Amino acid sequence: MAQQRSTESDLWPLPNFRFEVDLGTKLKGVAFQEVSGMDVENQIIEYRKSNSKLFSTEKMPGIVKYGNVTMKRGVVLNDRTFWDWHAEIAMNTIKRRTVTIKLLDEKGSVTMKWTLHNAWPTKITSTDLKSDGNEVAIDSLEIAHEKLVISNK
């Protein structure tokens, strides 16, 4: 199989400032100020065999654990997207969605995708209000999910 040659643009790291989020609804390409917490971790199982000559444990991979993803965006007049989704949670009934985070290049084409499976909102933090402030009002949404899949395009 022939090896693909890298172009010069493939050698540079991707900038992280242009991205969009699909929250699994008709509303596509939602603009956010910040997305953080896209991590995965394997819990460690420590085990010592009864006949081991070493006085230490073996470490094996255990259950996979995904961190909650936090998204921040400016408050928009008459937009209750976060609050309406959170309101769907009632008595252990959760409206789970597939959320997609897309990193875009300078032309607006998707370069990488992070897909959160079975996602649902765990926390919403509304903006801080200050009479002497001059910042934009920011809402924060924390999402729990059960699987993170990373793909190119």
Sequential pLDDT tens for the chain (153 residues): 455 555 655 677 777 788 899 988 766 777 888 999 999 999 999 988 888 777 788 889 999 999 999 999 988 888 888 888 888 887 778 889 999 999 988 888 889 999 999 999 999 999 888 899 888 899 999 999 999 999 987
Predicted local distance difference test score (pLDDT) of residue 14:
77
Q: How far is CA 67 from CA 16, 35, 44, 148, in A?
A: 20, 13, 16, 10
Structural domain contains residue 48: no
**Tokens 């085990």 sit at which residue?**
47
Structural domain contains residue 46: no
- Contact between residue 35 and residue 16 where contact means Cβ atoms under 8 Å apart: no
Helix boundaries (H) for the chain: 81-87
Structural domain contains residue 62: no
Predicted local distance difference test score (pLDDT) of residue 150:
94
Q: How far is CA 94 from CA 6, 82, 100, 146, 147, in A?
A: 45, 14, 18, 13, 16
Measured CA to CA, the distance from residue 72 to residue 138 in angstroms comes to 6
Predicted local distance difference test score (pLDDT) of residue 54:
77
Question: Which of 47, 53, 50, 21 shows the shortest CA–CA distance to 34?
Answer: 21
**Tokens 């394997």 sit at which residue?**
42
Predicted local distance difference test score (pLDDT) of residue 152:
87
State the total domains in the chain. 1
Predicted local distance difference test score (pLDDT) of residue 11:
73
Structural domain contains residue 6: no
Structural domain contains residue 76: yes
Predicted local distance difference test score (pLDDT) of residue 5:
54
Structural domain contains residue 5: no
Structural domain contains residue 7: no
- Contact between residue 116 and residue 151 where contact means Cβ atoms under 8 Å apart: no
Q: What is the CATH number of the domain that holds 115?
A: 2.30.110.20
Domain holding 29, by residue range, is: 16-38+67-151
In sequence order, the 6+-apart residues with CB closer than 8 A to the CB of 130 are: none
Structural domain contains residue 58: no
